[in-house]
Structure 1
Amino acid sequence: MMQLIKEELNIDKLSTIDKIESLLLNEFKTVPFHNLFMLNNIQNKQLSLGGTCSDKVLRFKGILDNNDINSKLHSSFINGIECHRMLSVIINDRKYYIDVGSGWPSVKLFPEFKEIEYSIYGMNFKTEINDNKIFLYHKTKSSYEYNKMMVIPKVSKSQEDILLDIKNRFVDSSIYPFHDSVRFSIVKGQIFYFIKGSRIRIYSDKGFKEYMLNEKEVLSFIKEKFNRLEQYSNILLG
């Protein structure tokens, strides 16, 4: 499967940064972020079915490995709690961070050595660097101002400690901002879809829309956008 991804994207002639970002965009379009397994106490045995940050990071690390790109697990903070997993890569002796698992379409690499800002799907991302930390901010047309997404320490835990955190990540799920209601997000075409509880938010460069859904409509939408989760339809949101 991963070899097929490499061939379909025809990325061998791209620079390393462009190659990673091409793979990253494809990941956002084909593998959703969601907390459905977490909410239903289901062990995710297929990373291609998506999941929370740890599932997404482990899968994408494998894709990078398959494309001869070495990456390392990196731990970061959300709301002051060290509960978020990312990846880091070294390109031309400089470090970049990859956020494949936050639920938002962070389709660009975040350099450790300079601040950046970019927009996509009608939303904005930017970083600020302060000593040994990188602050990642996010703004949508529904919020109108930047909100702090996470804090990325330049020095992270060891790979072994992060893997242990991943193994024990749901021992106390209350530390996650999505522990009490459904989350699901995916990119389709030029549109980013985001479900939070009973609300679906639709983002694009053309505008922003928000609708309320009942439980059956939420499940129907998820199955429509990613039908591989249909096998769990009898228990998801149950």
Structure 2
Amino acid sequence: MNLINKIESLLFEEFKSVPFHNLFMLNNIENKDLSLGGTCSDKVLHFREILKNNGIETKLHSSFINNIECHRMLSVSIENQNYFIDIGSGWPSLKLFPEFKPVEYSVYGMSFKTEIFESKLIIYHKIMGDYKQMIEVPFFTKSESKILSDIENRYKDNSIYPFHNSLRFSIIKDDSFYFIKENVLRTYNDVKIIDRILSKSEINNLLRNEFGIKDIKCPC
């Protein structure tokens, strides 16, 4: 197994075992166990440690969503070429994004592609219809210490996040990708997309019984 395949295999396992969610943010509590998941910062720090334990060194990388520098990723150098890892957008970005060439792939009924510009890479996402810009990744980023400081202070202004006041949760389970936005559970796979409206009790039962979130409830 080459290094790219190894990282992508670990990435897939991470998407299955560590959920994306904003439950800590909504409850205004500190995440003291990164294995419980969280937003992009929590997931980036957790996956970085997983990679380190597998002998793979990465760097923190700061990027933009909706023209706001609020998203954290990882970068890794493989054979003197740079790749980006997006573990924390809430969507199943299961492949590395090379800095030097555009890519396109589909998974769970959705698609990702990139465009390369002189000083940045743009990641696009498509569920139905046309691609929409998801993340702008500058090739040159802040220092590691500055990104860590941004992570430490990330909740001082929650309004910069598109999910600051309503539930977001996602995880891969079996052959499907599950995504909760507010009170709607959407299930994606290669065959179909299913929407289901949930009550507050149904949301918390689902989080606890199906996805293993036992110690945090949604205040929704």
State the distance in 2 between where 1:232 and 1:35 align.
11
Number of the residue aligned with 2:150 = 165
Report the identity percentage.
Answer: 57
| Backbone CA RMSD of aligned residues | 0.9
| Aligned mate of 1:225, from 200, 210, 214 | 210
1:17 is matched with 4
Q: How does 1:103-182 map to 2 (within 5 A)?
A: 103-141=90-128, 144-182=129-167
Equivalent positions of 1:26-41 (< 5 A) are 26-41=13-28
Q: Secondary structure at the match of 1:28?
A: helix
Give the structure 2 partner of residue 213 of structure 1.
Answer: 198
Provide the secondary structure at the position in 2 that maps to 1:51: coil
Whole-angstrom distance in 2 between the partners of 1:203 and 1:232: 25
Question: Can you list the C-alpha shifts for 1:84-139, whole angstroms capped at 9, x where unaligned?
Answer: 00000000000000000000000000000000000000100000011111010000
Question: 1:232 and 1:181 mapped to 2: Cα distance?
Answer: 15
Residue 183 of structure 1: which of 156, 168, 174 is its match? 168
Give the aligned residue type for 2:146: D
Asked if residue 50 in structure 1 is aligned to residue 72 in structure 2, the reply is no
Contact 2:23 2:216 in 1 (8 A): no
Deviation per CA, 1:51-106: give whole Å up to 9, x if none: 00000000000001001101000000000000000000000000000000000000
- Helix, strand or coil for the counterpart of 1:145? coil
1:70 and 1:30 map into 2 onto residues whose CA distance is: 21
Could you tell me whether the CA contact under 8 Å between 1:219 and 1:237 is conserved in 2?
A: no
| TM-score, normalization by structure 2 | 0.98
Contact 2:24 2:30 in 1 (8 A): yes
- Once residues 225 and 172 of structure 1 are traced to their aligned partners in structure 2, the CA distance between those partners, rounded to angstroms, is 32
In the other structure, the counterpart of 2:82 is 95
The answer to whether structure 1 residue 62 and structure 2 residue 49 are counterparts is: yes
Give the whole-Å Cα distance in 1 for the aligned partners of 2:101 and 2:59. 20
Aligned residues: 220
Q: Supply the AA of the counterpart residue of 1:232.
A: I
1:137 counterpart SS class: strand
State the Cα distance separating 1:17 from its structure 2 match: 0.2
Cα distance in 2, alignment partners of residues 165 and 66 from structure 1: 24
Asked if 1 retains the 8 angstrom alpha-carbon contact of 2:60 and 2:147, the reply is yes
**Superposed CA offset, 1:184-237 (max 9, x none):** 00000110000000111110001111111111111111112322x21234xx32
Matched, 1:237 2:219: yes
Structure 2: segments with no counterpart, 5+ residues: none
Q: Distance in 1 between matches of 2:191 and 2:216?
A: 34
